[in-house]
């Protein structure tokens, strides 16, 4: 299998657990303009919505690989919220802002001079290619 599935749902679940385990409130930033997003229209500002996804604010939470789904109340009215994982732009702790912002970048490009093989290139000279990693620092 050459292509891996998205890491986004796995990172969302891990960060959700980390935030909750540290006694903080997880919030999800969502691109509400994407197809499949089901949130109350009055909560959307400039095409985005921030959702409190803490266990005390939601019920029947399902952080799936394709969709994030949970029950919540908005203005006292119950609603089932559905967010395609691709629409999740960030997950962070409300109290200190720590979390992760997701980019819309696709998979990293193949290494220069590579033949498509995912194994080591055997070129340890360090010349001819970029020394920059495709990884980003997350604080």
Three-class DSSP labels, 77-114: EEEEEEEEHHHEEEEEECCCCCEEECCCCCCCCCCCCC
Could you give the domains of the chain? Answer: 8-96 (2.30.30.220)
Residue 6: what pLDDT? 93
Q: What confidence tens digit (pLDDT) does each residue in 20-33 have?
A: 999 999 999 999 99
Give the pair of three-digit tokens for residue 60.
Answer: 């029947």
Q: Over range 94-123, report the average pLDDT.
A: 66
Q: What is the mean pLDDT of the chain?
A: 85
pTM: 0.75
Which among 8, 2, 10 is positioned nearest to 31, based on CA atoms? 8
Residue 119: what pLDDT? 47
Q: Over range 32-49, report the average pLDDT.
A: 97
Residue 127: what pLDDT? 46
Sign of CA dihedral 82, 85, 88, 92: positive
Residue 131: what pLDDT? 53
> CB pairs under 8 A, 24+ apart, for 71-76?
74/40, 74/42, 74/43, 75/40, 75/42
| Contact present, 112 and 129 (Cβ < 8 Å) | yes
Sign of CA dihedral 17, 22, 25, 27: negative
| pLDDT score of 115 more than 70 | no
Q: Over range 60-82, report the average pLDDT.
A: 97
| pLDDT score of 125 more than 70 | no
| pLDDT score of 75 more than 60 | yes
Q: What confidence tens digit (pLDDT) does each residue in 92-108 have?
A: 999 999 999 998 755 55
Q: CA-CA distance, 84 to 54, in Å (whole number)?
A: 18
Q: For 11-15, 28-32, 64-68, 110-114, which range has the lowest pLDDT when averaged over its residues?
A: 110-114
Cα dist. 95→29, 98, 108 in Å?
15, 8, 33
């Amino acid at each position: 299998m050459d292509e891996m599935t998205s890491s986004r749902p796995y990172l969302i679940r891990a960060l959700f657990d980390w935030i909750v385990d540290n006694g903080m409130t997880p919030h999800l930033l969502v691109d509400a303009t994407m197809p499949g997003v089901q949130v109350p229209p009055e909560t959307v500002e400039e095409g985005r919505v921030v959702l409190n996804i803490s266990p005390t604010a939601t019920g029947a939470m399902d952080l799936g690989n394709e969709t994030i789904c949970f029950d919540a109340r908005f203005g006292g009215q119950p609603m089932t919220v559905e967010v395609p994982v691709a629409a999740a732009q960030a997950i962070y702790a409300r109290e200190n802002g720590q979390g992760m912002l997701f980019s819309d970048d696709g998979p990293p490009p193949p290494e220069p001079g590579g033949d498509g093989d995912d194994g080591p290139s055997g070129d340890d000279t360090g010349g001819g290619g970029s020394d920059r990693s495709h990884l980003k620092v997350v604080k």
